Structures are given as structure tokens and as C-alpha cells.
Amino acid sequence: MYHSDFVHLHVHTQYSLLDGACRIKELVQKAAEYKMPALGMTDHGNLFGAIDFYENAVKVGVKPIIGCEAYVAPGSRLDRGTSSGPKGMGASHLVLFARDEAGYKNLLKLVSAGYLEGFYYRPRMDKEILAKYSEGLLATSACLRGEVAWYLRQGDYAGAKKAAGEFSQIFGKGNFYLELMEHGIEDQKIVNEGLLKLAKDLNLPLVVTNDVHYLTQTQYTAHEALLCIQTQTMLNDPNRMRLKTDQFYFKDPALMKKEFAWVPEALKNTLEIADKCNLQLRFDQIHLPHYEPPSGRTKEEYLKELCQKGIAERYGRATPEIEKRLEYELSVVKKMGFVSYFLIVWDFIHYAKQRGIPVGPGRGSAAGSLASYLLGITNLDPLKYGLLFERFLNPDRASMPDIDIDFCFERRGEVIDYVTKKYGKDNVAQIITFGTMQARAAVRDVGRVMAVEYGNVDKLAKLIPAEIGITLKEALEKEPELAKLYKDEEIARQIIDTAQVLEGLNRHASVHAAGVVISDKPLTEYIPLFKTSDDQITTGFSMDGIAKIGLLKMDFLGLRTLTVISEAIKIIKTTRGIDIDIDKIPLDDKKTYEILAKAQSFGIFQLESSGMRDLLKKSRPTQFEDLITILALYRPGPMGSGMLDDYIKRKKGEVPVRYDHPKLESVLKETYGIIVYQEQVMQMASTLAGFTMTQADHLRRAMSKKVPEIMEKMRRDFVEGCRKTSQIKEEQANKLFDFIDYFSGYGFNRSHSAAYALISYQTAYLKANYPVEFMCALLTSEKDNTDKVVEYVKESEAMGIQVLPPDVNESVSQFKVINEKTIRFGLLAVKNMGSIAIESIAENRKNGPYVSIFDFCRRVDLRLVNRKVLESMVKCGAMDCFGSKRSQMMEAIEGALGMGARTQKEKASGQFSFFDTDEGFSDFKKESENLPDLAEWPQAQILAFEKELLGFYLSGHPLAHYQVEIKEFTDYSTKNLKMAVDGQEVKLVALITSIKLTTTRRTNERMAILKMEDVEGEVEVLVFPSTYPVVSQYLREGEVVVLVGKVNLREESPKIIAGDIKPIGDVYKSVKTISLDLSRVNESGLKDLQQRLSKFPGKIPVYLRLDTKGYKSVQIMVGEDLFVAPCHDLIEEIKILVGQDNFSMSL
């Protein structure tokens, strides 16, 4: 078979972060199109993409050559300065390739050392460590930044010769090549001439490379933008880093041969290097760490012993069913070589539980294992809930078990520390993950480096639909306005075209939120290591790479809900003296199912979204199995297929439940004849066709992958099995197979759903039975999330629980239960308040409550409690307990701090202070009476400060000033919308709190989803395309508007379909007349009224209603000179005079 006689070796993929723009799949495909027999990968300083590159290259028949363009320190890698080496050299480049397994392992060690030992701006190695790990490696001299090239550019041939000789000696004869490149750069001509001379003088081989950074020549501009994103510069910056020409692309081999026809041996040497590099990675091995059981027992014996103890704890005694199931599971675990795996997982979970670290009931298919349940790895009885072991571990499917563990959000790190200490810091690491450039971010980045006006870039970015993973191509198809800008405006087209080249590329590396790897040997025997910008050591391979090479990958997840449960239990112990064992609560608690049926599920795990609340109300769960089903069905697939609605109707008895075969009732009865779980697919295959559970798991997997050849075989086996096992004829058997196949696509893992349903139930139980403690724990857990705090404060109020503002004399760092109906705001939830400052406040409060801002500043440590803390407490109301105005205390801060500092200085120096005497202290306490004589801030300012510091309003609401408008322009509030008729037109005065722009699915027309609030609550408002263009100019967060729309009551929470939205000020233009009842106004008041009306001259008549002695009240119209222009300020002034109830307007 013909293949190209040139191979690209020096190539940067997307893993050369913000430098390489070659996507691996496209790259290897291009190499295959060019008939290249092999392809190199040489990312800057790392091996992030090694596994990804290797697998994709093999798939297209291209030999992968794994390498790295390393950074070499001019002296020692341990030297963090720039003094070593020639002046101006810095870290030079050197390309390394793995020739074999030994070379690969050495490359892993070198790259790891670069990050862990030699990092100084770049991950650097040095010649000492290169010599130590040179076996199996092949090196090339790299680009113009290589050491040899650097000396040649300086005109120092001797230096270049010395450097080349050193590298040749390090890697051995025939394993160091001099790289020739040609990109149209002047320096390269000088370097290439020098390299030719060196090759001759030192008898070193030459090789041609092209330092590939992007795939096609047309991507040059996009790559320049990428470099600007990396260096935070602009494209028009003459001093920025750049590649200078557009020649750094994946050139056709024919073009390379033409450009380097003058050195045919250097072209040929690309194939020579490819022939020398024969690394074969193995993905069929498992590297479990060794678990040492107690002396005198084997691992198998110890595992069985632990399971037997678990039987006694879980069941009291063993039954034949338990013994048979356990014996089978342990035999499979032993056969597959996973005994150590189970012991390792048991060990760190046992450690966590022994130290009171909350552990979740399990995740995923692991809940199907009885052994896991007996070991305490999971907390759901698989026998009771029909969970299948084969869904977790299939003896015919040789893959690592996958047990993901939830730990308390705040203490997860303790478990990782324990594992690290037990198995060795060299054998344990957290796993790397890569952030990619998503469509919106790519547009913003490109617009910035092109120096396009921010407003124009922002407009483009916001037109991209807010959908996870959406591409710019999809956005252009979905958003007509974006497509129009792309078509009509050159700058928009340039931004989007450039961003399309960059979107999806890796932007940065960071630590995976949960992944931890544990190895039997130091990790550098298998993988490279990486150090993040905050000095955390992680793997150099991501999750997929770790799994493929057979390392034990665990997900140590931090679940905030477990923290909430733990905290609530502690609070219950404090407030009620009750010890709650959350694992032993009854699963049939009446109160719990009552709040679930009413959809009172804010704060309940997995059940608080509006869609889920709607589902709860419709389905009205009455048993734990209902929760398992609800969690499994609440997904796009089942909801889109109608399964969810069908389930609800069948559960309510509105639709009869039928089974296509009598044997199916035992499998599908719990879910009313609907296939909800993957396990049901397996059980049906077993019940109808006599499949073993192992065979049934193969069927489940085959149906999920839909490979035609496998499916056809499975169909034949199923039909034949149905005939033998259930005497079902071929035609019906095929129909049953089709039935199972259709629903299998929507099936969910029952084990996972059951485990999460348990956490959902536990939180619901606490909320139903210990509401104030649960809400207090919930607020504390979300203290840093303002939106959640606001949501849970409102939920508390709806439950009849008052959340009091922060108080310097009563608040602690966390939210605090005062009594069964009251929670005090936690100080840590106040912006600018740190734990150290709060500790000082609490410590000094032990000597008695603070009596004034002066007393406070005298007693707390002002090194810890600074001006910003003090200002924050005044502004949020935490010092209202002193009885002074906030404006006064804010003005007094300077003096209070000065007095406090003097007092503390005198005390520290041992000097006598007037304040140390009883008389002095008594006078000191009176200082609060000497606060500046100031009026309190306007209510709007008070509320603004509360919003700023707490995230929401505690002592009022911005709409409180619009009571007349609410009375005149509103016929419903958010609270009583449910009393309206579906489709009825309603009017509300409300505050716009959030705006989400989106498009309709069918026509791609612009619409908006708003959140609006009044003084009683909030409502979702849908602004459809027919209305959006008319009202869009008024849609601004914080805007007070009059909303006219039709109420939609078809879901659990009412929504409003907007018909019209106007700023509150515009509505006054519709006022026809104003009427005032003067029954409360005396003669002097009439003069006052005249003056007030004259301040707002206009054309709207004012009518006055007067009571006269012995006569009925009369109405008169004021003269035209007192006609007014209605506005909010006019209303406020008149309202003060005549009273709110004595004022009205006609529209």
C-alpha cells in the first residue's frame, strides 16, 4: 500500500494550551488523507493529549509517535532565577520522542519533573535529569527557541557545537537529530546553514519538520488571535508574541518535499524516526493498589469476614437468599480480581464514618451490590428494592467497577488526605480536567483581541442561545438576528469566523471536582503529573485516559446536601435534645409525603426545580418507590416521549394498566406497566426468554448502543428463549423485543435513582418534621450563594418561620435557631465579613453585649475587625440593636475607630486609662449619645445597602413606595394569581429581577423569560415573539413596570403571558382624572394642597370631594391653573396630605 515518504513529527495539538489549534481527530484524519504512515505529537511541556492522540491515530491507521516539546533550563532546573546559562537564553526548547515503553516511562518522569521540580514560568527539565532518563528516547533540536538554534542566532558556532554534542552524548549515537525548518523567517536561514555545518562536523543526522500549530493556512489569523488570548494582548499590538508568517500549518507532504528538495536525506529521516519509534500502549491491564488485610488472613477471607459482620448488622441473621446472593457476588469479585478494590473502598468509607464525616447512600449501579450494602459502601438494600448486581459488575464484561462516593461537602478533603497518607503521596493524586472555549466565550475573546467595541461584542455574544455545548454553527441556525448580523456586518463575520476556529479548544487545565486516582506504584510509572497555578498536584491525564490505562479512578464527590443533613441533625440535638440517626428514619412518614404531595420541596434534594414541583403535585407520591420512579422519569427523554404523562395517568387510574404478556406484571407492576429502569429490561429478558442476568446485561448494553449485527443476534436469542422458556410464538416474541427495545432507550439506572431518592426522602423528612432546624442548616450551607439565600428566606417565611436581620449581639457566624419560628441571620452571609473578624466579635461578646458602636470598637480587636467590616455591619442593620440611626453610626465610624485604637494601645502598653475606672467606663457608654445629629438615610438607601450586603431586602421592599400605583394600576398580586381564571387578563406593578433571552424552537424567534417580584412574591413572565419587539426597550433589571398579561394556571406555579409592559412612569400618561377626598383636610390643608398641585402643572383635571354640613358631599373640579401632570412624586405629596385611601385615579 502506498504511503507518503514524509511524516510530520513536530506538531502541536489542542493540548498546547492557547497555542496549538490542531484538534486531534481532525489532525489524524488529515494525516490519513495525506497517506502518512505515522504522525508525531509534541505539545509544549506536557503529555495531556497522549492517550487521546494514540487512540485516534490507531483508529485511522496512522502510527502514533508520542513526544513533547520540552523546556530545558539553561542551568539547573532547581534554579528559579535567570542567572545560570548565557544571558538572554532563558528556557530553551527540545523535542523528545518515546521510541519504546522504556522511553515512554522516562518521558512521563521527565514531564512530571518539569512541573513538580523545575517549574519557573514554564515546566523545565535540565541536562542532568535528561541524562538520567534518556533511555528509550529520541530527541530533535526543536525550533528557533532550541538551544542549538539560539547559539547559531547569536553567531556562536562553538556554543552551538558544544550544545549539540552534549545532546548527542545524552541520547546516544543516532538518537539526536538537528531540525530544519522553513517558514520564511530570516533567522531560519542563518540557523539552517549552521545546522548543515554541525551535521557534517559532528556526524549528526538532519530531519525536516514544520512546527505545526494549526491545521490549514487559512487558520493563521485565528491562531494569531489565540496567541493574543494567551498573552492578553491585541492583534494590533506591534510588540505582541507572534509566529510572524502563515507557514506553521499542516502542510501537504508534496509541498514539504518541494520546499526541502535540497536536503532529501532530512526528508527521508522523518520516516527513519517513525521506524525507530514503536511504542505500544496497553489498555488491557488493571493496576489496583495493594490492600494489606490484618495479619493471618488473606484479602478474600477478610472481605468475606467483613460481609458476614454486615449481615449481622443489616439483617440480624442470614437467610438462604442472602447467603446465595453474597456467595455469588464474592465469587464474581474474586474471579475478576477486584477483592482489593472492594477493601480499598470499604476502608476509606469506614474511616470517614468513624470520624463522623457524612457519607452518601451510594451512586450509580454500585447500589445493586449486596456486598457493597453489607460493607457500608452503599446504604440501600438491593434485595428489598430489586437492584441487580450484574448491572454493576458483569463477569463477562472486563471493566473496572465504578463506585462514586458522596461525602460531606466541607470534609471531603479529609478523606482524600487519609487515602494519600495510606497509599503514599506518590501513588495518589486528584485528576486533571480541561476547560474549553465555549461559543460565547470564544466570541468575547476574539472581539477583545480584535479591539472591537465592547458593546458590539456583547451584543453578538448575547445573541448566542444560552444552551450548554451549543456551537456557533448551531447558533447561526437558531438565532435569525445573529445570522443577519453575520451576513450584513463584516466585523461580525470576522469575529464569528475566527471564533469558530477556536471554539472547543482547551483553554486551561484545573483540578476535577471529584476525581481521585490511587495506584499500586508511583503514578509516574503510568502517567505524567501536573501542577496547577495554585500548586495542586494532579494527574497529567484526564478521567478517560486514567480509566483506559487501568488505574483505579474514584469519584470523591462533595455533596452539599450531606452537609445540610449533618448540620440539621446537630441543630436538632441542640434545640430539642434529640439524636437523629438519618439512616434509621421511617420511610413511610406521613408528614413527609404530605409536603411532597403539596410540592413544598424547596431545599429538598433533586426535587426543588419548578418542573419537579409540578411533577410532585401531579403524581402525589405516597411511598418511597414513587420517589425512585419520579427521579428516573424526570429526564428529557421520558418527558419528551410522553412516558411521564402516561405514568401519572396510569397511577391515578385515568388510563388502564395493561401488560403485553402475563409474566410482565411481576416486573412492571410497580411502574404501572411502563419500562422505567434499565434493570427492568434485564428482568424482562430473564423472565420471558430465560436469559441469565449476565446475558440480560449484554442485551441492555446492546440496546443502548444499537449496533445492527449485535442487535440481530440478540433478537434471535431472545425469540428462541421466549419459545423455550415461555412458549411464546415468534411473532409475539418479536413484538415484545421491539417493545423492550423502544423503551430501553429511555430506561434509567434504578440503583442510582434509588440511592438519590433516599437522600431526597431524608431531606424531605427533616423539612417536614424539624422545619426550623432544616431551614437554618440549609441557609448556612448556602450562605455564599445570594440567590439561594433569598430563595430560602422566602421559603422560610412561607413556612411561617421568620428570618431576623443580623445582630451583632446575637448572631454567630452561621444562621442560628432562636426558637421554633425564628432564625437569626448568620454573620458569614454578610458581604465583607470574614470568619476571623466574627470570632473576635463573638469572643469579646462573652463579657456582655455591646452597647454602642464606641463600646464595640473599644472591645474587639481592630486588627481583625477593620473599617470595611464595621461599615458592612452598620449598613446591613447588624448594629440596629444599639438604638441609633444607621446614618449616625456610619458617620461616627471614624471617631469610634480612633477611640477604640487609643484605648487598645493604652491597654497594651499598660498605661492607666480613664476608661479603666468605673466612672470612666460609665461615661464611655454614654458616648453613643454623642452621635452626630443626622436624619436617617432615605428608605431607598437603606434597602439598597441591605441588597448590597445581604443580597436581598430585609427591612422593606423597593415597591413599598408605590402603594398608590399598586392600588390604582393592579388588580392582582403574585400571591393571589391562583385565584384568577386560566387565560384571564391581569395587571401587576412589579420589579424586573432577572431577564433570560432565548428563541422559540420552531421558528427561532426572539423571546424573553422574566422574573418579576412584588411585595408578596415573584412570578415568571413569558414575553413571546409577538410582544417582545414592542416591550424589549423597557426590559431592564431593577425597572419598576406595569405588566398586563394573561395568567397561565396549567402548571403548579402560575405564569403570566405578557401582553404589554411599560415603565411605571409611562402609565401616568393614561390617567384621565384624579379624585381627592378632602374629609381629612382642614382649611390650612387646602392652601397646602393648592401649593402642591401647582408644583406639577399639566392638563389632567383634579376633582375634590367635600363634605358640607347638612348636605351630601359635593364634587368640584379645580381651576385649569391647578390641572396637573401625574407622576410618582405628585402622588407621594398628595398622599401625605389627604391619606392613601382618599386618593384615586381614572384611566
Q: How much of the chain exceeds pLDDT 90, in percent? A: 71
pLDDT at 591 over 60: yes
pLDDT over 70 at 57, yes or no: yes
Residues 6+ apart with CB under 8 A from 325: 370, 383, 389
- Residue type for position 900: G
The arithmetic mean of pLDDT across residues 503-529, rounded, is 94
Degrees (nearest 5) of the Cα angle 545, 551, 555? 85
Give the model's pLDDT for residue 1: 59
Distance between terminal CA atoms of the chain? 87
- The DSSP bridge pattern shows strands 802-804 and 92-98 to be unpaired
Q: Long-range contacts: 667-671, Cβ < 8 Å, 24+?
A: 670/625, 670/629, 671/629, 671/647
Residues 134-145 have a mean pLDDT of 97
What would the mean pLDDT of 406-421 be, rounded to a whole number? 94
Q: How high is the pLDDT of residue 82?
A: 58
- Which of 72-76, 454-458, 614-618 shows the lowest mean pLDDT across its residues? 454-458
| pTM, two decimal places | 0.79
Contact yes or no for 95/68 (Cβ under 8 A): yes
DSSP state of 245: S
- Angle, alpha carbons 654-658-660 (nearest 5°): 155
Non-local (6+) Cβ contacts of 41 within 8 A are: 11, 13, 49, 50, 53, 64, 65, 66, 67
Looking at beta carbons, which pairs linking 616-621 to residues 24 or more positions away fall under 8 Å? 616/1052, 617/1052, 618/648, 618/1052, 619/647, 619/648, 619/651, 620/596, 621/593, 621/596, 621/597
Q: Is the pLDDT of residue 1140 over 90?
A: no
Rounded Cα distance, 924 and 998, in Å = 61
Q: Which of 266-270, 736-740, 814-818 has the lowest mean pLDDT?
A: 736-740
* Residue 716 clears pLDDT 50, i.e. is over it: yes
Sketch the domain layout of the chain as residue ranges: 24-215+250-276, 299-433+512-560, 804-950, 958-1069, 1071-1146
pLDDT of residue 1108: 64
User: Residue 1002 — pLDDT band, cuts 50, 70, 90?
Assistant: low
In degrees to the nearest 10, what's the CA dihedral of 589, 591, 592, 595? 160
Mean pLDDT score, 483-499 = 95
Report the percentage of the chain scoring pLDDT > 70.
97
Whether 119 has a pLDDT exceeding 70, the answer reads yes
pLDDT for the residue 921 = 47
* Cβ contacts of 389 within 8 Å, gap of 6 or more: 325, 328, 329, 332, 368, 369, 370, 382, 693
pLDDT in tens, 6-16: 999 999 999 99
Q: 980 falls in which pLDDT band (50, 70, 90)?
A: confident
Per-residue confidence (pLDDT) for residue 490, from 0 to 100: 94
CA–CA gap between residue 325 and residue 320 (Å, rounded):
8
pLDDT of residue 1132 exceeding 90? no
- The stretch 608-619 carries a mean pLDDT of 90
Average pLDDT of span 1074-1083 = 83
If 0-12 CB within 10 Å is exposed, 13-18 middle and 19+ buried, where does residue 759 land?
A: buried
- The confidence score (pLDDT) of residue 1001 equals 61
CB 295 within 8 A of CB 524: no
Residue 664 pLDDT greater than 80, yes or no: yes
Ordered alpha helix ranges (H), 799-885: 835-845, 853-859, 867-876
- Asked if residues 22 and 513 have their Cβ atoms less than 8 Å apart, the reply is no
Considering the domain delimited by 958-1069, tell me its CATH architecture: Beta Barrel (2.40)
pLDDT tier, 926 (very low <50, low <70, confident <90, very high otherwise): low
> Residue 468: which pLDDT band, with cuts at 50, 70 and 90?
confident
Q: What is the pLDDT of residues 1014-1046, one digit of tens each?
A: 877 789 999 999 999 999 999 998 889 999 999
Q: Output 298-306 pairs: Cβ under 8 A, ≥24 positions apart.
A: 299/339, 299/340, 299/343, 300/330, 300/334, 300/339, 302/343, 303/330, 303/333, 303/339, 303/342, 303/343, 303/371, 304/330, 306/343, 306/346, 306/374, 306/375
Mean pLDDT of 278-301: 92
Please check whether residue 94 is in contact with residue 147, taking contact to mean a CB–CB distance below 8 angstroms: yes
- Integer-rounded Cα radius of gyration of the chain: 37
pLDDT at residue 924 greater than cutoff 90: no
**Under CATH, which number does the domain 24-215+250-276 receive?**
3.20.20.140
Contact yes or no for 1131/1057 (Cβ under 8 A): no
SS (H, E, C) 441-476: HHHHHHHHHCCCCHHHHHHHHHHCCCCCCCCHHHHH
For residues 555 and 405, is the Cβ–Cβ distance under 8 A? yes
pLDDT digits (tens, 9 = 90+) for 30-50: 999 999 999 999 999 999 999
Q: Is 508 helix (H, G, I), strand (E, B) or coil?
A: strand
Q: If you average pLDDT over every residue of the chain, what do you get?
A: 91
Sign of the torsion angle spanned by Cα atoms 632, 638, 644, 650 = negative
Looking at residue 978, what is its pLDDT? 81
607 CB-contact burial (10 Å; exposed 0-12 / middle 13-18 / buried 19+): buried
